Amino acid sequence: MPSAFCKKKVFVLLLPLLRVFGSLFFDKQYLRGRYFDASATGWHWVLRSIVWQKIFGFNRHIPRPVSPFIKILSPQNIEFCPEDINNFPAMGTYYQNARGTIVIGKGSYIANNVTIVTANHDFSDLEAYQPGKDVIIGDRCWIGANSVILPGVHLGDHTIVGAGSIVTKSYPQGNLVIAGNPARPIRLLDARGEPAAESASPLGTSPSEADAARFSPSPHRSMKEPARPRSSGGCTRMPNRSRRRLPSHR
């Protein structure tokens, strides 16, 4: 039985050949990072995707390894860090982005069966679509399984979306847990990801009226369209925003 050291040595020797082989089928910028440089996991995705994408034709138009069981309407309308390619071998995810861009921040996770929508049907003519609106997901977010994110939503850094939630409006301040239909804040998080001391609502319960007032957009001011993030070094970087809490209105 070969030791772990021997396996690692063989992997390092084969890595240049794997890169050349993989780049024959996929854009080489997606064949780097923690899943490819120090792990065989990414190369398993490559081999599987060669069979499903290039031979059987599932998602053949996508230039990176993805699951045959997801749908991406417009691959060029997704911005993400190539290090986070692990979101695309997931099962059942639907990126409805033909009329808008989906931005996924660095270190974010998209679970199975998540739907992200950039344009809804026109209510007066169901054969037509409303104008598309970009969806922006910040760094280090986690979108739970079976969640739906609707057009124009902006989630700030370190926003956790509970499984099965329907996110209908933006929470750009980040550092919180939202859940439900429609999704509402149920817990504040500190910089370490721990529940903040001021967060009185236990996970899984409805927020108090004070919490709702704290996070709801002000009725006296319109919410500005969030700025598009800038790309640096191949990874999407969200713009720095203060985590200032919105004032309560009573």
- Give me the tens of pLDDT residue by residue for the chain, a chain 250 residues long: 667 778 788 888 899 999 999 999 999 999 999 999 989 999 999 999 999 999 999 999 999 999 999 999 999 999 999 999 999 998 999 999 999 999 999 999 999 999 999 999 999 999 999 999 999 999 999 999 999 999 999 999 999 999 999 999 999 999 999 999 999 999 999 877 778 765 544 444 444 444 444 555 434 334 445 556 554 545 644 444 444 444 444 4
- Alpha carbon distances (Å) from 131 to 52, 127, 151: 33, 13, 10
CB distance 229 to 239 below 8 Å = yes
Can you tell me the distance from the alpha carbon of 243 to that of 92, in angstroms, rounded to the nearest whole number? 33
DSSP-derived pairing of the beta strands 176-179 and 184-188: antiparallel
Can you tell me the distance from the alpha carbon of 195 to that of 183, in angstroms, rounded to the nearest whole number? 18
User: What's the farthest any 2 CA atoms get from each other in the chain?
Assistant: 70
Domain residues of the chain, as ranges? 1-68, 69-245
* Structure-token pair, residue 242: 């203060």
- We find that the CATH architecture of domain 69-245 is 3 Solenoid (2.160)
Write the DSSP symbol of residue 85. Answer: G
Radius of gyration of the chain (CA): 20
Nearest to 238 by CA among 246, 249, 247, 229: 229
CB distance 201 to 187 below 8 Å = yes
Write the DSSP symbol of residue 237. Answer: E
